[in-house]
Structure 1
Amino acid sequence: MRLDGTVALVTGASSGIGAAASVSLARQGAAVAVVARRRERLDELAARIRGDGGDVLVIEADITQEAQAVEAVERTASELGRIDTLVNNAGVMLLGPAAGAPMTEWQRMVEINVLGLLYCAHAALPYLLKAAGAGPRHVADMVNVSSVAGRVPRSGSSVYNLTKHGVGAFSEALRQEVGQKHVRISLVEPGAVETELAGHNRPEVLETIRARFGGIERMQPEDIADAITYIVTRPRHVAVNELLIRPTEQE
């Protein structure tokens, strides 16, 4: 099912999976609200989408601030007319041993990976329920981007594991709550993807990450965008609840 006549909101859209998903959803006919902090990156993305003939709304916002997250959702609904799809993609991965870790890193992961996602989900849910009840597709989607870390705890990833396991639990419980109203809640769990995600780590942690994944062919953002697009273009009676995607060579 194409997405003509629908509206999608994508967080963390200034790079990586978020940018690729925005392009992909627009190509399926959705008007897309792209949300992130880096305005220049969003403007470049918007130009690309418009160049392909798509409709896009740029919203500069920090979703860790509840008021800004709510405003992003409200602006999307007001200026584009509705919200049929929410892609909660914004996230951060800050790894390393728990002993001696900066508390600011733990707080940052909770703020973005959990609270930011919750702020957007809470604000968008009434619009998703409304869209599911009133065409054009009579179904709506919330796609929460998690990680392999939401399934497999690993040494050095304790708080990142915590946040991503939480996203998985939230998604499944919410699915049971709103699924019969035709709001589909889907969880996407990527393995190693070639994005900026790892680059936010401290140098010594970054070296460990490079040593672990340097020898494998990582996935590209477009691979995950393709999966997200697959999920939201299924017929109304089909819900993809959970999708785990790893590079072929990843253990």
Structure 2
Amino acid sequence: MTYENLAGRTAVVTGAASGIGAAVATALADNGARVALLARRSDRIEELAATLNANGGQAIAVTADVTSDASVTGAAERIHSVFDRVDLVVNNAGVMIPEPIDTASTGNWQRMIDTNVTGVLRVLRAFTPDLTADGHADLVNISSIGAHEYFKDYAVYGATKAAVTYLSRSLRAELGPAGVRVTNIEPGLVRSELRDDITGDAAAFLDDWIAEAGILAAEDLADVVAYVTSRPAHVNLRQLVALPATQF
């Protein structure tokens, strides 16, 4: 689907090496936005940027780790040097590690917090001056249905996503008067690399759940992001839950 209002926008997409992030970056570029692809895996984002540019888009690959202040600051400087002001930010980078609360690794807890919460804050801090500069911009945070639904062994992951959902709500009040639309999207089951590192009982549970409930493609979420950010400037779709039709 074509969304004409995205033409001429300048977007930053984190976690753009695969899955939802790569699909979002592709959808935005296909609709005329300039896109900065942020991720740790340089080879993946360089390949995607080359593909988008070959297809008539404008994209740059910016290697960055959202768990590092210096890395995010450097990424913002690189983006500004090429594209100048950013007016659309998609916070998508995330880590999901299901573990029982009594045996979980505290290192894995910290990894999820650093990526899913503090990483969002780092990116927000780096680009808030851009978003608030001209009276119209979009901030999209990819949260999860796990922000308010309980799933066995996902307590800490869900807590990090609940923080993102709450942060999004608060930021509407803080940034809205400057013309920044804040949209919080809570996906259900979506095909992505988050599944790849899950093993054992947690993997079996997830596989059974997908077999029963179905699963969205990353492109389905990308279309949602493109849709909400292309609405007229006075319309803010502030909160969306996107599930397979058979997931309840």
TM-score for both structures, normalised by structure 2: 0.95
Task: Give the ranges of 4+ consecutive aligned residues of structure 1 lying more than 4 Å apart after TM superposition.
Answer: none
| Cα distance in 2 for residues equivalent to 1:31 and 1:211 | 39
Alignment partner of 2:60: what SS? strand
| Cα distance in 1 for residues equivalent to 2:155 and 2:220 | 27
Aligned: 1:211 with 2:214: no
Q: Please, which runs of 5 or more residues in structure 2 have no aligned partner?
A: none
Between 1:148-157 and 1:179-188, the stretch displaced more is 148-157
| Cα distance in 1 for residues equivalent to 2:80 and 2:187 | 29
CA RMSD of aligned residues (A): 1.2
1:3 deviation in Å? 2.1
Q: Work out which of the residue numbers 152, 158, 163 in structure 2 matches 1:155.
A: 152
| Cα distance in 1 for residues equivalent to 2:198 and 2:7 | 39
Deviations 1:100-138 (A, max 9, x none): 1111111110010001111001111001111x33xxxxx
Q: Please, which runs of 5 or more residues in structure 1 have no aligned partner?
A: 134-138
Aligned: 1:238 with 2:241: no
Kept in 1, the 8 Å contact 2:172–2:181? The answer is yes
Identity of aligned residues (%): 39
Aligned: 1:114 with 2:136: no
Kept in 2, the 8 Å contact 1:69–1:120? The answer is yes
| Cα distance in 1 for residues equivalent to 2:193 and 2:152 | 22
Alignment partner, residue 50 of structure 2: 47
Between 1:105-114 and 1:152-161, the stretch displaced more is 152-161
Q: Work out which of the residue numbers 85, 89, 94 in structure 2 matches 1:82.
A: 85
Q: Work out which of the residue numbers 169, 174, 177 in structure 1 matches 2:171.
A: 174
Deviations 1:22-57 (A, max 9, x none): 010011111100000111111221122112200111
Deviations 1:128-169 (A, max 9, x none): 111x33xxxxx1001000010112123311101110000011
User: Would you say how many aligned residue pairs link Structure 1 and Structure 2?
Assistant: 245
Deviations 1:71-126 (A, max 9, x none): 21222122111101000000011112111111111111001000111100111100
Kept in 1, the 8 Å contact 2:46–2:60? The answer is no
Alignment partner, residue 136 of structure 1: none
Alignment partner, residue 191 of structure 2: 194
Alignment partner, residue 58 of structure 1: 61
Aligned: 1:24 with 2:21: no
1:215 deviation in Å? 3.0
| Cα distance in 2 for residues equivalent to 1:203 and 1:11 | 29
Kept in 2, the 8 Å contact 1:171–1:187? The answer is yes
